[in-house]
Structure 1
Amino acid sequence: MPPLEGPERAIAWGERCRHQLVTAAYEALVVEGVLAEGDWLAVEQQLRTLDKASWWIDQRESAPADLPELAAAATSADRVNENPN
Protein backbone atom coordinates (compact mmCIF):
# COMPACT_ATOMS: atom_id res chain seq x y z
CA MET A 1 0.00 0.00 0.00
CA PRO A 2 1.22 3.51 -0.72
CA PRO A 3 2.13 5.88 2.10
CA LEU A 4 -0.67 7.91 3.60
CA GLU A 5 -0.84 11.70 3.61
CA GLY A 6 -1.81 13.92 6.52
CA PRO A 7 -0.48 15.20 9.83
CA GLU A 8 2.23 13.01 11.36
CA ARG A 9 0.04 11.68 14.18
CA ALA A 10 -2.81 10.98 11.77
CA ILE A 11 -0.53 9.03 9.43
CA ALA A 12 0.47 6.51 12.11
CA TRP A 13 -3.14 6.11 13.24
CA GLY A 14 -4.41 5.92 9.65
CA GLU A 15 -1.87 3.23 8.77
CA ARG A 16 -2.95 1.17 11.76
CA CYS A 17 -6.64 1.60 10.86
CA ARG A 18 -5.97 0.74 7.21
CA HIS A 19 -4.02 -2.39 8.11
CA GLN A 20 -6.68 -3.62 10.50
CA LEU A 21 -9.58 -2.87 8.16
CA VAL A 22 -7.99 -4.29 5.01
CA THR A 23 -6.85 -7.44 6.83
CA ALA A 24 -10.31 -7.97 8.33
CA ALA A 25 -12.00 -7.26 4.98
CA TYR A 26 -9.82 -9.83 3.19
CA GLU A 27 -10.65 -12.38 5.87
CA ALA A 28 -14.39 -11.65 5.70
CA LEU A 29 -14.71 -11.38 1.93
CA VAL A 30 -12.17 -13.84 0.53
CA VAL A 31 -11.30 -16.38 3.23
CA GLU A 32 -14.77 -16.69 4.77
CA GLY A 33 -16.88 -15.03 2.07
CA VAL A 34 -17.72 -15.41 -1.56
CA LEU A 35 -15.26 -13.01 -3.17
CA ALA A 36 -12.67 -14.62 -5.43
CA GLU A 37 -9.00 -13.71 -5.08
CA GLY A 38 -9.06 -12.01 -8.48
CA ASP A 39 -12.01 -9.88 -7.45
CA TRP A 40 -10.18 -8.94 -4.25
CA LEU A 41 -7.26 -7.66 -6.32
CA ALA A 42 -9.62 -5.20 -8.01
CA VAL A 43 -10.84 -4.03 -4.60
CA GLU A 44 -7.26 -3.70 -3.37
CA GLN A 45 -6.33 -1.60 -6.39
CA GLN A 46 -9.18 0.77 -5.58
CA LEU A 47 -8.08 0.91 -1.92
CA ARG A 48 -4.59 1.97 -2.99
CA THR A 49 -6.01 5.25 -4.29
CA LEU A 50 -7.30 6.17 -0.83
CA ASP A 51 -4.19 7.81 0.50
CA LYS A 52 -5.56 10.28 3.03
CA ALA A 53 -5.00 9.10 6.59
CA SER A 54 -8.22 10.81 7.66
CA TRP A 55 -10.33 8.60 5.36
CA TRP A 56 -9.01 5.44 6.99
CA ILE A 57 -9.46 6.87 10.48
CA ASP A 58 -13.06 7.81 9.65
CA GLN A 59 -13.76 4.24 8.45
CA ARG A 60 -12.20 2.48 11.46
CA GLU A 61 -15.58 1.48 12.94
CA SER A 62 -16.98 0.20 9.64
CA ALA A 63 -17.83 -3.42 9.01
CA PRO A 64 -14.93 -5.00 7.11
CA ALA A 65 -17.27 -6.53 4.52
CA ASP A 66 -18.45 -3.00 3.64
CA LEU A 67 -14.97 -1.87 2.58
CA PRO A 68 -15.49 -2.31 -1.21
CA GLU A 69 -18.69 -0.26 -1.07
CA LEU A 70 -17.05 2.43 1.06
CA ALA A 71 -14.10 2.65 -1.32
CA ALA A 72 -16.44 2.94 -4.30
CA ALA A 73 -18.28 5.79 -2.58
CA ALA A 74 -15.07 7.70 -1.82
CA THR A 75 -14.59 10.98 -3.66
CA SER A 76 -11.57 12.83 -4.96
CA ALA A 77 -11.50 14.66 -1.61
CA ASP A 78 -10.45 11.33 -0.04
CA ARG A 79 -7.44 11.08 -2.33
CA VAL A 80 -4.27 13.11 -2.45
CA ASN A 81 -2.98 11.40 -5.59
CA GLU A 82 -5.21 9.73 -8.16
CA ASN A 83 -2.35 7.57 -9.47
CA PRO A 84 -0.42 6.07 -6.54
CA ASN A 85 2.66 3.92 -7.13
Structure 2
Amino acid sequence: MKINRKNLLYHEIIGLEVCIIKHLDPSLEGKCGRIFYETKNTIVLETDKDKLKILKKGAVLEFRVDSEKIIILGDELIGRPEDRAKNILK
Protein backbone atom coordinates (compact mmCIF):
# COMPACT_ATOMS: atom_id res chain seq x y z
CA MET A 1 0.00 0.00 0.00
CA LYS A 2 1.38 3.39 -0.97
CA ILE A 3 1.84 5.86 1.88
CA ASN A 4 -0.30 8.99 1.61
CA ARG A 5 -1.75 11.67 3.93
CA LYS A 6 -4.70 9.50 4.93
CA ASN A 7 -2.72 6.42 5.95
CA LEU A 8 0.67 7.77 7.06
CA LEU A 9 -0.37 7.67 10.72
CA TYR A 10 -0.89 3.90 10.48
CA HIS A 11 2.42 3.11 8.78
CA GLU A 12 5.86 2.54 10.17
CA ILE A 13 7.60 5.91 10.03
CA ILE A 14 11.12 4.71 10.83
CA GLY A 15 13.26 5.30 7.76
CA LEU A 16 11.13 8.10 6.33
CA GLU A 17 12.64 11.48 5.43
CA VAL A 18 11.26 14.32 7.55
CA CYS A 19 11.83 18.03 8.16
CA ILE A 20 10.73 19.90 11.27
CA ILE A 21 8.66 22.84 10.09
CA LYS A 22 7.71 24.14 13.55
CA HIS A 23 8.49 23.03 17.10
CA LEU A 24 8.13 24.21 20.68
CA ASP A 25 11.95 24.31 20.68
CA PRO A 26 12.77 26.84 17.92
CA SER A 27 16.34 25.54 17.63
CA LEU A 28 14.96 22.36 16.04
CA GLU A 29 13.05 24.15 13.28
CA GLY A 30 14.45 23.50 9.82
CA LYS A 31 16.28 20.31 10.83
CA CYS A 32 15.89 17.50 8.29
CA GLY A 33 16.89 13.87 8.22
CA ARG A 34 15.70 10.30 8.40
CA ILE A 35 13.71 8.91 11.34
CA PHE A 36 16.06 6.50 13.09
CA TYR A 37 13.90 5.44 16.07
CA GLU A 38 10.49 6.17 17.57
CA THR A 39 8.97 5.91 21.04
CA LYS A 40 5.57 6.90 22.39
CA ASN A 41 6.48 10.57 22.78
CA THR A 42 9.66 11.07 20.75
CA ILE A 43 11.35 10.45 17.45
CA VAL A 44 15.08 10.24 16.89
CA LEU A 45 16.10 12.10 13.77
CA GLU A 46 19.36 11.10 12.09
CA THR A 47 20.88 14.07 10.27
CA ASP A 48 24.15 14.28 8.35
CA LYS A 49 25.93 15.40 11.51
CA ASP A 50 24.20 13.74 14.48
CA LYS A 51 21.09 12.18 15.99
CA LEU A 52 18.46 14.44 17.57
CA LYS A 53 15.82 13.31 20.05
CA ILE A 54 12.67 15.28 19.29
CA LEU A 55 9.41 15.49 21.22
CA LYS A 56 6.37 14.80 19.04
CA LYS A 57 4.19 17.15 21.09
CA GLY A 58 4.09 20.61 19.59
CA ALA A 59 5.92 19.64 16.40
CA VAL A 60 4.82 20.18 12.81
CA LEU A 61 6.56 17.63 10.60
CA GLU A 62 6.89 17.48 6.83
CA PHE A 63 7.36 13.92 5.58
CA ARG A 64 8.79 13.29 2.12
CA VAL A 65 7.29 10.17 0.61
CA ASP A 66 8.27 9.57 -3.01
CA SER A 67 7.85 13.04 -4.52
CA GLU A 68 4.99 14.00 -2.19
CA LYS A 69 5.30 16.24 0.88
CA ILE A 70 2.93 15.33 3.72
CA ILE A 71 2.53 17.65 6.71
CA ILE A 72 1.55 15.98 9.99
CA LEU A 73 1.16 17.42 13.48
CA GLY A 74 3.41 15.64 15.94
CA ASP A 75 0.48 15.41 18.35
CA GLU A 76 -1.21 13.03 15.87
CA LEU A 77 1.78 10.69 16.16
CA ILE A 78 1.80 10.53 19.96
CA GLY A 79 1.41 6.96 21.10
CA ARG A 80 3.23 3.70 20.64
CA PRO A 81 3.86 2.90 16.98
CA GLU A 82 2.26 -0.54 17.28
CA ASP A 83 -0.90 0.99 18.77
CA ARG A 84 -1.24 3.40 15.85
CA ALA A 85 -1.10 0.44 13.46
CA LYS A 86 -3.82 -1.38 15.45
CA ASN A 87 -6.14 1.63 15.17
CA ILE A 88 -6.52 1.14 11.44
CA LEU A 89 -8.66 -1.91 12.13
CA LYS A 90 -11.10 0.04 14.30
User: Could you tell me the TM-score, scaled by structure 1's length?
Assistant: 0.24
Answer 1 or 2: which has greater helix percent: 1
Name which structure has the greater RCO, CA cutoff 8 Å, separation 6+. 1
Answer 1 or 2: which has greater strand percent: 2
